[in-house]
Amino acid sequence: MSYAAYKMMHWPTGIENCASGFITHCGADFAPQIPMVPSEDFETEWPAKKGIGPIPNLVVTAGNVLEVYAVRVQEEDDNKGSRSPVEAKRGGFMAGLSGASLELVCHYKLHGNVETMAILPVEGGDNHKKGDSIILAFRDAKISILEFDDSIYGLRTSSMHCFEGPEWQYLKRGRESFSRGPLVKVDPQGRCGGVLVYDMQMIILKAAQAGYGLVGDDEANGFGATRSARVESSYVISLGDLDMKHIKDFTFVHGYIEPVMVILHERELTWAGRISWKHHTCVISALSISTTLKQHPLIWSSLNLPHDAYKLIAVPSPIGGVLVISANALHYHSQSASCALALNSFAMPFDISQDMPRSSFNVELDAANATWLSHDVAMLSAKTGELLLLTLVYDGRVVQRLELSKSRASVLTSGMATIGNSFFFLGSRLGDSLLVQYTCGLGASSGSSGSVKEEAGDIEGDLPSAKRLRRSSSDTLQDIVTTEELSLHSSAPNTSESVQKTFSFAVRDSLVNVGPLKDFSYGLRINADPNAAGIAKQSNYELVCCSGHGKNGALCILQQSIRPELITEVELPGCKGIWTVYHKNARGHNSDATKMSSDDDEYHAYLIISLESRTMVLETGELLGEVTESVDYYVQGSTVAAGNLFGRRRVVQVFARGARVLDGSYMTQDISLGAPSSDSTSPADSSVVASASIADPYVLLRMTDGSIQLLVGDPSTCTISVSTPSIFDSSKGKISACTLYHDKGPEPWLRKTSTDAWLSTGLGEAFDGADGALPDLGDIYCVVCYESGCLEIFEVPSYKCLFSVDRFTSGKTYLADTFVWETSKDCQDVKNKGFEEIASNANKETTQSMMIVELAMHRWAGQYSRPYLFGMLADGTLLCYHAYLFEIQENTPKVEEGVSVQDSVNISSTSTSRLRNLRFVRVPLETYTREEASAVSPCQRFSVFKNIGGYQGLFLSGSRPTWFMVCRERLRIHPQLCDGSIVAFTVLHNVNCNHGLIYVTSQGFLKICQLPSVLSYDNYWPVQKIPLRGTPHQVTYYAEKNLYPIIVSMPVVKPLNQVISSIVDQEIGHQIEHDNSTSDEFNKTYTTEEFEVRILEPEKSGGPWQTRATISMQNSENALTVRMVTLHNSMTNENETLLAIGTAYVQGEDVAARGRILLFSIGKNADSSPNSVTEVYSKELKGAISALASLQGHLLIASGPKVILHKWTGSELNGVAFYDAPPLYVVSLNIVKNFVLVGDIHKSIYFLSWKEQGAQLNLLAKDFGNLDCFSTEFLIDGSTLSLVVSDEQKNVQIFYYAPKMSESWKGQKLLSRAEFHVGAHITKFLRLQMLPTFSDRSGSAAASDKTNRFALLFGTLDGSIGCIAPLEEITFRRFQTLQKKLVDAVPHIAGLNPRSFRQFQSNGKAHRPGPDNMIDCELLIHYEMLPLEEQLEIAQQIGTTRAQILTNLNDLSLGTSFL
């Protein structure tokens, strides 16, 4: 019996829902962000210049991921240097903004897929000091309301409403399956919300009145003050009782005293064959909702809307009413007026006598999304990606007519949201999502585009050129402006109130999306290393994925681990550390301006390499030349640290017994540390420097005996002096780690967190002015961790303790200053202390190893960035915290205030009281694999980098080196496996290596590298997108030549009669053409897909890939499958590798299905072309050829309802065996040895075997259920063979063949081994051999059994990637018990239950539940995020140890790190 684990490796990226609202702040908090510009500057360009105003948050969901973003704008005067090189401007200059970007506030992975989402606004407009709430709806009828809580800097659940289970069974009206999940809409004034569940039940969520909440008053003014919109109660309206069937959509309209809900429903259904008789079947009904009386009278309705109407859009005040969108027409309805607009020639009015106004161009809106840019202009996105502007011509009383105009082409959207009054967001599941800024000029003449450069580009996010420019650190993007003026003229010639608005757009930011992954293949990277072994070998591979659709179609190249581009490498054994330092000679002092601009681009001067017993110094000019002999550096022993002081004018070098200050190569000062010379009789006792941290102008040294010393620099004389802080006496115990934190920038962040923030900032400015030499110096703090596990932050050099945390090592979710925390939570703390003492006594021996060995705290560039705090524990666990600001309410004790008043007289220190508003929240590091603490060397492992290839973050060296990149205030974690263990790392910026890096491997090689610039690292995995401008369907890999054949289809628009004549016989076709020769008929067009197979080759330099050959398909022929197959040529007795393509002719239901099998050979031809593709065979067969595979040198073809095995003679394919079962349409074929697994679109899976001697394909067993397969594969665990299948209900099932078991009906039936709900459509499984893990290597006895283990890597339509990996039984049992514990131990966001999410979903079909033999690693990763005491307690309860659980989790992620 084999067991499996389900593990996500790349979370969903395809955005399904987006909305905007004031989540983290309220609209009233904002002074307008942009000052009103004096009118004379902008008179010509922007006549009506409005400030940007308060900008709401953007909330997006992708699959089960929920993310909240803040929009950060950069004003035009902001380019002095506070902006980081990372955020190179995009989209040029517009309306006073030079740029805008999305910054992550918080993100969550939920135990359930978000079906729909809405924002509940605060009742009564923006003037309340309250935030909006997020309403999420989950299948079948779960509703969670989340609000932002400042005290935890995250979302928390304010109420949950569930209408499932036996007591709500009657709501289903006896039905089991429903066409869609719940649909949420909200009253624009925030008085109530509505959720449509079970297709006909309306749940009304009544919002709480202002000043009235579920919580009691005592809690309201305490810690979590209620400050968001809340839902007070909910009740159900049965729409069936109101005689409404077939509800399509609903919305709340503007401008009524009570909430009014408008429902679009269909009285009687019609169908395609009866459209000409029965076509206007839809109705809208408006109900007035009284939440107090629970009544809902009908106030108006409108009949005879088109049958294909599917969406309602509420028109904002002052106009009011609704827009009804159908495929071919737009209708506007309000209580008093209505009008319509035909979009194409298929639109027909209800009454033939009436004439419908036509739009000036043809468009179909059958999958449109919409948002309002102003109160009378809506932006619609069509299914082709075109953006259309719809203007409601309104005379102050009624809407007279609708006008539609074309705007720009953009991404295919899944949702749109307007953010404030100058941004909108295009969320996309099929391409990258975009943030776009827009401005609207009223009545501007068309010549007003004075300084706006026009470029006829579209609003596209995934242009490769733009991407590369964005990543370059220079400001080249200012020249590339993507704005365009659009005029909406009214069509009536001489109306006096001629409407004319101009809109300009600029793309400001984009979120990368790799979904939907239709297929992928696993190939070698261009810079693969042929000699790599072990885990390093895995970073030779990459995934090449077919993703996107239509014009957003692209090839995504995904690599889980980073492989830097090597510039040069040198052998250098015994290295302990490397540092690069700057040296500013006199040229840097000319003016402050040059200093500011050149700071980032200054080249490094020296490279210092510390070996075991000596130090080397190299010059980093054109060449790396060793200058060890000619410089005054300390070179007789190894160096502990080196860096720059005094604004890069001096270099400081710290070694075990001293420190030196150097100006270039000349020493200016030498200090010796450690014991004085008189004690030299016992050198063993004297303490030496163990580690050092440098922050201009201080150097903090930690000695081996656990004390610390501070070297204080004097900028005027450029000298340093030793000071031993008296505060660190032996009472606190030894110091295990310490670091300096430099709070840089014009407004230091930590100052804001102190009590008297207003006082200290004022003083700080006075200070900076007086200290004219070094402006913007910021504050310096010292972060110290004791062996007892206590963490403290001190101010330097006064050594006031500003912040302290007990038991930092336990990894609590939130950290706050103990002094503040205890006074407010006295009673609770007493209880906790008792519990913790018990826990700590039980586990005394384990907590000894829990000591922080290294700390780092840094705040990266960016106007709104907040510091990160990293701590490394002795057992290899990494703690990461993100700081945030929370202002405590004024009910704190008086004692502390008295203290702060006395202290504030002392002006000498800028920050006089504790940092009581500082909090830290722990950041989950899901993809970080911690290393086993076997050979941890005491060398420093954290290296902060500020610009490597335009990215900033922290590099962690060691046996599993990892990059932590900070993009949009979010940590992106990318491992680097290609060189094994790394002992030292530093940045290098010089002539030959622009913003590059140097690292030394444990094998003793020093490598100088750059980050590959084509990859985007702001994703779960580094990704490169190659646009194809068509839909990719399937990809395969030809390893010998490193080629990728891909099926691509392009939409082609053809005249309708041409399409019909190609399908029908020719003579009838001619008649058709002659009969209907009305002009209208000729305009009708039809879009068909044209298929081709492209053979692409990766570009060596990493640029765009080259198309080596294109194989076009015939008219109306679709390529369905492409595979590289190895066939045994029976004439020559040799194996040939051929490209096989299976196709089908799509010609309507009147023509019998046919398909072709094509075989091509790719090889060197006689002429010079490197890869010539020649057709060696083609044959037409009955039925569509939907799957191909090679089986022991034969070709297995699934054609229609047959599976036929063919023999290859070199010129012919001859059938040798067939299996003629009820497969309707084979989705996938998999082969292991002589076993065949067939997955059918509707009839589940078949397990066949091929016998050579009798030339037979035999059915061994099948699954008797009905299952709509998406993909299948074999799972191999040692000698056990299982069959895995994913289905249309987003489940995965594992079957096995056991003919000896009685319930298998003598082996006819496949038995279920495990079933699991993934929550996404899995389109492809790939079988890969698992890697040997740490525990396997140590115990060699059982190792042989584990070599034959394969995991399945899978890709889904949401853009997520994961794997299903086999487990041993003992690990499985341990994980299963842990999983049951964690369901209760972990607080789940939105109150969702992981167990119910992972149950098999059958959508109402009969299904016998199978065994629960699949582990959910999405739940298990929460274990490492629990505080240490809880981890130990849970491990004890399930009868194991924390170390054992972490080792098992580690082995699983090591064994599956395939890329």
b/e burial code for range 1168-1180 (CB count within 10 A of at least 16 → b): eeeebbeeebeee
Quickly list DSSP for 747-768: S-TGGGGSTTHHHHHHHHHHHH
pLDDT for the residue numbered 762? 38
Q: What share of the chain is helix, strand, coil (3-state, %, to 5)?
A: 15, 45, 40
Q: Using CA atoms, how far apart are residues 81 and 70, in angstroms rounded to an integer?
A: 22
pLDDT at 337 over 70: yes
Q: Using CA atoms, how far apart are residues 1312 and 326, in angstroms rounded to an integer?
A: 45
Model confidence band, residue 665 (pLDDT cutoffs 50, 70, 90): confident
pLDDT for the residue numbered 210? 59
Torsions phi, psi of 912, nearest 5? -95, -20
pLDDT for the residue numbered 643? 92
Q: Using CA atoms, how far apart are residues 305 and 321, in angstroms rounded to an integer?
A: 15
The two tokens of residue 240 are: 């069936």
Nearest to 596 by CA among 76, 74, 81, 79: 81
CB 1398 within 8 A of CB 1416: yes
Mutual angle of helices 1369-1385 and 1442-1455, in 10-degree steps = 110
Greater pLDDT, 1271 or 52? 1271
Mutual angle of helices 1428-1437 and 1442-1455, in 10-degree steps = 100
Q: Using CA atoms, how far apart are residues 577 and 59, in angstroms rounded to an integer?
A: 44
Model confidence band, residue 599 (pLDDT cutoffs 50, 70, 90): low
The two tokens of residue 1333 are: 């893990």
Q: Is 218 helix (H, G, I), strand (E, B) or coil?
A: helix
Q: Using CA atoms, how far apart are residues 54 and 25, in angstroms rounded to an integer?
A: 10
pLDDT at 895 over 50: no
pLDDT at 587 over 50: no
- Rounded to a whole number, what is the largest CA-CA distance in the chain? 115
High-pLDDT (> 70) share of the chain, %: 80
Inter-CA distances, 103 with 152, 753, 1259, Å: 18, 21, 56
Query: Can you tell me the mean pLDDT for 34-44?
Result: 35
Query: Can you tell me the mean pLDDT for 219-245?
Result: 74
Q: What's the pTM value of the predicted model, to 2 decimals? A: 0.89
Torsions phi, psi of 504, nearest 5? -120, 150
Quickly list DSSP for 980-1047: S-EEEEEEE-SSSSTTEEEEEETTSEEEEEE--TTSB-SSSS-EEEEE-SSEEEEE--BTTTTBEEEE
Q: Which are the contacts of 832, defined by CB distance < 8 A and separation ≥ 6?
A: none
pLDDT for the residue numbered 465? 36
pLDDT for the residue numbered 837? 47
Q: Which are the contacts of 684, defined by CB distance < 8 A and separation ≥ 6?
A: none
Nearest to 296 by CA among 244, 336, 261: 261
pLDDT for the residue numbered 1082? 54
Strand 3-10 to strand 1213-1219: parallel, antiparallel, or no bridges (unpaired)? Answer: unpaired
Greater pLDDT, 1222 or 714? 714
Inter-CA distances, 1367 with 1274, 1293, 1364, Å: 15, 16, 10
Query: Can you tell me the mean pLDDT for 74-99?
Result: 56
Give the full edge-to-edge strand order of the sheet including 386-394. Answer: 369-374, 377-381, 386-394, 399-409
The two tokens of residue 1369 are: 């039984």
CA angle at residue 360 from 356 to 365, to 5 degrees? 75
Q: pLDDT per residue over 1186-1236, tens digit each?
A: 999 999 999 999 988 889 999 999 899 999 999 987 778 999 999 999 999
Model confidence band, residue 71 (pLDDT cutoffs 50, 70, 90): very high
Nearest to 881 by CA among 831, 954, 962: 954
Q: Using CA atoms, how far apart are residues 421 and 130, in angstroms rounded to an integer?
A: 20
The two tokens of residue 170 are: 């009657």
Q: pLDDT per residue over 600-639, tens digit each?
A: 678 899 999 999 889 999 998 888 888 888 888 888 888 9
Nearest to 104 by CA among 761, 853, 733, 882: 882
What amino acid occupies position 54? P
Strand 698-703 to strand 1361-1367: parallel, antiparallel, or no bridges (unpaired)? Answer: unpaired
CB 1042 within 8 A of CB 1097: yes
pLDDT for the residue numbered 512? 94
Least confident segment among 528-537, 737-746, 920-929: 528-537
Q: Using CA atoms, how far apart are residues 1247 and 1269, in angstroms rounded to an integer?
A: 14
Q: Where are the alpha helices (DSSP H) in 284-385?
A: none
Q: Which are the contacts of 427, defined by CB distance < 8 A and separation ≥ 6?
A: 15, 16, 17, 18, 60, 413, 414, 415, 416, 417, 433
Q: Is 372 helix (H, G, I), strand (E, B) or coil?
A: strand
CB 1018 within 8 A of CB 967: yes
Query: Can you tell me the mean pLDDT for 219-248?
Result: 76
